[in-house]
Amino acid sequence: MVDPAIECVDLTIGYGRTPVGREINLRVDAGEVVCLLGANGAGKTTTMMTIAGEIPPLAGDVRLHGETVTTPTFKRAKAGLSFVTEERSVIMSLTAAENLRLANVPQDRAVALFPALEPLMKRTAGLLSGGEQQMLTLARALGREPRALLADELSLGLAPIIVERLLRAVRAAADDQGVGVLLVEQHIRQALAVADRVYVMQRGRIVMEGTTAEAETDIEQIERAYLSGVIEDEVRESAD
C-alpha cells in the first residue's frame, strides 16, 4: 500500500498551550485533491500551518509520504511540500520574472501553467492585479514540481474566472504530476468541481468526510456548516 502524501493522525493543534482543534485525522493520497471546508474560525488555517511546520502540534502526528515530520517549514519545502498561504507570497518590489527566479522556477514552466503571465514578466509584482499576483504565487508553488501542495484560500477576493484558472491548475497538478493536494476553499461548489474527497471541519473537529459525490448530495448541509453548528448537532444526535 502506498503511503499518503499528507496525513494527520490524532492531531491536536493550537497556539502555545491553547488547543483550537483536537483529534484531527485526515489523509491525502498522491494524485488526489482533498478539500477541507468549514466556517471562518473552524481551525482550517491552523491545520494547514501545522502540516506546513509553521506551528508545532500539541499532540498527534503530521506525516508526509508515510514519515512523521517534526522539521521546520523550509526543510519540508526541500522535501517536496509547497504551501500557498492566505496572503499572496510574492515579493512586491521584484518583477514577476525575478519572483520566479528566486523560487528557482523557469519562466516557461510558469507560463505553461498560466499563459496570462507571459506578457507580465517584466512588471513589478506590486503593480499586478490580485488575480495576476495569485497566479504568480501558484506558479511559484507548482513550478517547483512538489510532491504535495497545501493551498489555503486561493480564491480570496478574486473574480470567478480567475478562481477557475487557479483550481484547474491545481487539478492538473494532481492528475498529471501526481501531486497530493489539500485545498482550503470558501467557494464550496467550485472546490467540489475539482476535488476527489472532502472533509468538513467545525469548531476544531472533523465532523464530516466523504467523496465529492457524497458531499454534493449534502451540499446544503455543508453550506449551513459555515453559518451554524447544524452538522455538529446532527452528528451528536445520530450518535445518541
In the prediction, which pLDDT does 107 show? 97
In the prediction, which pLDDT does 122 show? 97
Say whether 226 sits in a helix, a strand or coil.
Answer: coil
What is the C-alpha to C-alpha distance for residues 90 and 96, in angstroms, rounded to an integer?
A: 8
Average pLDDT over residues 92-105: 96
In the prediction, which pLDDT does 125 show? 97
| Amino acid letter, 112 | A
In the prediction, which pLDDT does 235 show? 44
**∠ Cα 192 193 197 (to 5°):** 45
Q: What is the pLDDT of residues 33-72, one digit of tens each?
A: 999 998 888 999 999 999 999 999 999 999 999 999 999 9
In the prediction, which pLDDT does 161 show? 92
Q: What is the pLDDT of residues 142-191, one digit of tens each?
A: 999 999 999 999 988 899 999 999 999 999 999 999 999 999 988 888 88
**pLDDT exceeds 70 at position 119:** yes
Comparison of pLDDT for 93 and 234, the residue scoring more: 93
Mean residue pLDDT of the chain comes to 90
Domains of the chain: 6-80+147-239 (3.40.50.300), 90-145 (no CATH)
In the prediction, which pLDDT does 210 show? 92
Q: Which DSSP category does 43 fall into?
A: S
**pLDDT exceeds 90 at position 231:** no
Q: Which residues contact 57 (CB under 8 A, 6 or more apart)?
A: 11, 12, 13, 50
Q: Confidence class of residue 226 from pLDDT cuts 50, 70 and 90? A: low
**pLDDT exceeds 80 at position 237:** no
Q: What is the pLDDT of residues 88-98, one digit of tens each?
A: 789 999 999 99
Average pLDDT over residues 122-141: 96
Sort strands 6-15 and 59-64 into parallel, antiparallel or unpaired. antiparallel
**pLDDT exceeds 90 at position 232:** no
3-state helix, strand, coil in the chain (%, to 5): 40, 25, 35
In the prediction, which pLDDT does 239 show? 42
In the prediction, which pLDDT does 89 show? 81
**pLDDT exceeds 80 at position 224:** no
